[in-house]
Structure 1
Amino acid sequence: MPVTILIVDDHGAIRRGVRAILETRDGFEVVAEAATGAEAIALAARHRPGVAVIDYSLPVMNGSQLTRRIREASPGTEVLVFTMHESEALVRDVLGAGARGYLLKSDADQQLIAAVDALSRHQPYFTGRVSEALLAHYLTHPGHASELDVLTAREREVVQLIAEGRSSKQVGETLAISVKTVETHRASAMHKLGLSTTAALVRYAVRNKLVEP
C-alpha cells in the first residue's frame, strides 16, 4: 500500500515544492493539500493519511494546535512539523501535542523523504540540526515548563489571534466562543505570563513563534 500524505502550508509554492519532492519517491502518494488548519482537519478526517506534513506558522491555528486536532480527527496519522524555526520551545511544544517529527524547511531537499518514510513506519524523525542534547533534555525533563507550556491550548489560540490583530469579537467568532470567554482566556494568559499590555502580549507571541513578526 502507498504511504498517503497530507501537506499543510498557507503558501502554495511551498506546498508544490513539498509535493514535487515527495512524488519522486515510489510508494508515496499525496492525497490532499490544505492552506488552513480548518481545511487540514477536514481533509485528515476524510482521507486518514498515513503522514501529515504541516507548517508550524499557520494563521489562526499554529502547528501544535493543529497537531492535536489532526490526531483527534485521524488517530492513525503521524504528524511531521515542517518549519523554518529552530527552537527548543517549539520542539517541546509539538512533541507534547503528539507530533513525532520535526524538520527544518532548509533541510527539505536532503531529509524530507527520509522523514516521511520514518513516520510512515511510526518512527520519530528530527532534523539533523535539532541537537541530541535538546531531545535528551525533553526526554529526561518532560515536566519542565517553557513559556508555551504555561498556557492552555485555548489560551494559546486566543493569544495567537489577538497577536494577529483580531478584536475580541473576531476571536470569538473564529473560535466559536463568547466575547466574555475570550476576555477571560486573555486575562488568564496575561496573568500567567506576568504581562500588562497587549503590546507585551504580541511580543510574547512573536518571541514564541505563535505569529510571524
Structure 2
Amino acid sequence: MSAPVLEVRGVTRTLTDPEPVTLVRDVSFTVAPGEFVAIMGPSGCGKSSLLYLLGLLDRPTRGAILVDGRPMDDLSEAERTAVRLERIGFVFQFHFLLPELTALANVALPMRRLGRLGPAACEARAEALLAKLGLAAETHRRPDRMSGGQRQRVAIARALANDPAVILGDEPTGNLDSGNTRLVIDEFQRLAHDEGRAVICVTHDASVAAAADRRIHMLDGRIERDGD
C-alpha cells in the first residue's frame, strides 16, 4: 500500500477570542495517493475548519499534520506557503477566479508564483489543462463570460497548475446544477483514480459523497465515523 500523502495526528483547533471555542477535536486519519475522500457532517461540525488545517491555511492548537511524511506545524509561514503552492490545490464553492483575467491567465497564475516555468511554458501548460477539462474554447474569456460550471472547471485547472499531490475541495459543487455537478465529480474521480492524486472534499452533496471511495463523518468537531 502507498505511503500516506497526508497524515493528521491528534489535531485540535481552538480559538480563544472572544471566548474559547474548539472547532476540531482530536482528529486523526491518513489519506493515500489515489483516494477520493468526502468529509461530511452537519453545518458547524468542523468540516471546513479541518479542511483549512489540511490546506495549511491555519495551524492546529495541538497535534500534527504531515505532508509527504514531513511535519508542517513547525515550519515558518514562508515554508508552509511554499509547500501549499507546490503540493496542494484548492477548489472552493465560489471559484475565486480573478475577474479581470482570462481563463488562461487565471490558470497560469500559480505557475508564475512558483517560478519554475517561463511565461511561454506557463501558458502552454495552462492551455493544455483547460483543453483537458473541455475548455479550449474558453481560454481567452474572462469569468463573467462563462457559465458557473465552466468557471468551476477553470478553478479545477488552476488547482492542478503546479501538479499537486493533494486536491482539497470546499463544497465544490455547492453552486452547480446536476449536470455540472456530474462533470466535477467525474473529474475528481479521474484525478484520484487515473492520476493518483489524493482528493478530499468537504460536501453536503449526496452525489459527491456517493462517488467518493471513503466517507469521513464529523460531529461536534470530532470524527464520528470513517469508512467506505
Give the structure with the larger helix fraction: 1
Same fold (TM over 0.5): no
TM-score class, shorter-chain normalisation, is: 0.3 to 0.5
Q: With a CA cutoff of 8 Å and minimum separation of 6, indicate the structure with the bigger relative contact order.
A: 2
Relative to the length of structure 1, the TM-score reads: 0.32
Give the structure with the larger strand fraction: 2
